[in-house]
């Protein structure tokens, strides 16, 4: 429960998650903030994200969702920003001149990079079942063009921002987001990741290595079976419960 003075009692947050899904970004953020939360598994093997029970939680049928004292939230960036504002952590303060650019990049990652990854991972949802159409979409997404409409171009833009905008003492919500992004680029779709080389993005590579040393990353990796270096040298998950795909 939220009190008038803004205090949020323990048990207030429930993260609806599946291992190695976008919920990983929210879990990493909650761990970094040190706030108490519980989790509820969305059973992807049973396609629970499409079922009526989960749609009552997130009408978009996407993972994650976060139960908060203000109701259920969905959309990763919205959850991150709300948590950051609520707990006053992990983003430039409201009156900081850095906030304008930071929010621009956060929404770029959410609206463009994450959306590109969705097209790469679930091409059938965008161009239907035709294999040639799926191949064409994939080839366009991974082409080495210097445009934000391709993943290499978009990642290059974020890399340029992170260079000089990462706090060594604690990661921002944007860095938690990007740590999961570079993990997924290295792993998925399984067997089709040759286009991605983390060392081509030096600031993101340094960020991933730095985040891997955080106690929050260890907690997340243990909970979801992500291995010892989940962001800089990821391996496919071996989750203690649930399924990533
Ligand atoms: N725009 C959403 C995207 C979330 C998303 O793509 N979640 C994936 C898992 S990583 C999902 O729910 N996939 C299942 C599906 O598309 O049916 C967000 O930012 O939260």
Domain-embedded: residue 160: yes
- Tell me which residue has its CA closest to atom 15 in ligand 1: 62
Domain-embedded: residue 149: yes
Domain-embedded: residue 122: yes
Average pLDDT rounded to a whole number, residues 52-57 = 95
CB 154 within 8 A of CB 116: yes
Residue 168 pLDDT > 80: no
CATH number of the structural domain spanning residue 149: 1.20.1050.10
SS in 3 state form for the chain?
CECCCCCECCCCEEEEECCCCCHHHHHHHHHHHCCCEEEEECCHHHCHHHCHHHHCCCCCCCCCEEEECCEEEECHHHHHHHHHHHHCCCCCCCCCCCHHHHHHHHHHHHHHHHHHHHHHHCCHHHHCCCHHHHHHHHHHHHCCCCCCCCHHHHHHHHHHHHCCCCCCCCCCHHHHHHHHHHHHHHHCCCCCCCCCCHHHCHHHHHHHHHHHCCHHHHHHHHHHCCCCCCCCCCCCCCCCCCCCC
Q: Is 146 helix (H, G, I), strand (E, B) or coil?
A: coil
Q: What percent of the chain has pLDDT over 90?
A: 85
Residue to mutate, 25, 63, 75, ligand 1, most ligand atoms under 8 Å from C-beta: 63
Answer with the residue of higher pLDDT: 112 or 244: 112
CB 121 within 8 A of CB 189: yes
Give pLDDT, residue 3: 61
Domain-embedded: residue 202: yes
Label residue 167 by pLDDT band (50, 70, 90): confident
Average pLDDT rounded to a whole number, residues 101-121 = 98
Average pLDDT rounded to a whole number, residues 191-201 = 97
Instruction: Tell me which DSSP letter residue 97 carries.
Output: T
Average pLDDT rounded to a whole number, residues 143-156 = 92
Give pLDDT, residue 225: 97
Q: What are phi and psi of 150, to 5 degrees?
A: -115, 155
Q: What is the mean pLDDT of the chain?
A: 94
Separation of CA 14 and ligand 1 centre (Å): 17
Domain-embedded: residue 174: yes
Give pLDDT, residue 2: 56
Domain-embedded: residue 145: yes
Label residue 245 by pLDDT band (50, 70, 90): confident
Domain-embedded: residue 133: yes
Instruction: Tell me which DSSP letter residue 198 carries.
Output: G
Answer with the residue of higher pLDDT: 9 or 140: 140
Domain-embedded: residue 132: yes
Q: Is the dihedral of CA 61, 112, 85, 29 positive or negative?
A: positive
Counting the structural domains of the chain, the total is 1
Residue 8 pLDDT > 80: no
Whole domain around residue 185: which residue ranges? 99-214
Give pLDDT, residue 53: 94
Q: What are phi and psi of 11, to 5 degrees?
A: 80, 0
Residue 62 Cβ < 6 Å to ligand 1? yes
Give pLDDT, residue 243: 85
């Amino acid at each position: 429960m939220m009190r008038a003075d803004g205090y949020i009692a323990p048990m207030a947050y429930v993260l609806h998650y599946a291992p190695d899904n976008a919920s990983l970004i929210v879990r990493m953020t909650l761990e970094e903030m040190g706030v108490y939360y519980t989790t509820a598994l969305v059973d992807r093997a049973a396609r629970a994200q499409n079922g009526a029970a989960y749609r009552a939680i997130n009408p978009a049928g996407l993972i994650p969702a976060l139960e908060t004292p203000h109701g259920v939230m969905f959309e990763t960036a919205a959850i991150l920003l709300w948590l950051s504002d609520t707990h006053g952590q992990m983003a430039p303060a409201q009156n900081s001149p850095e906030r304008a650019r930071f929010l621009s990049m956060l929404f770029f990652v959410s609206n463009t990079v994450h959306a590109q990854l969705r097209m790469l991972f679930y091409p059938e949802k965008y161009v239907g079942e035709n294999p040639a159409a799926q191949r064409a979409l994939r080839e366009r997404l991974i082409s080495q063009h210097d445009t934000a409409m391709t993943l290499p171009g978009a990642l290059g833009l974020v890399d340029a921002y992170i260079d000089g905008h990462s706090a060594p003492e604690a990661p921002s919500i944007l860095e938690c987001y990007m740590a999961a992004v570079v993990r997924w680029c290295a792993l998925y779709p399984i067997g089709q990741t040759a286009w991605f080389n983390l060392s081509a993005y030096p600031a993101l590579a340094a960020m991933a290595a730095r985040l891997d040393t955080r106690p929050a990353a260890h907690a997340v990796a243990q909970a979801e079976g992500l291995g010892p270096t989940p962001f800089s040298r990821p391996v496919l998950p071996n989750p203690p419960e649930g399924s990533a795909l």
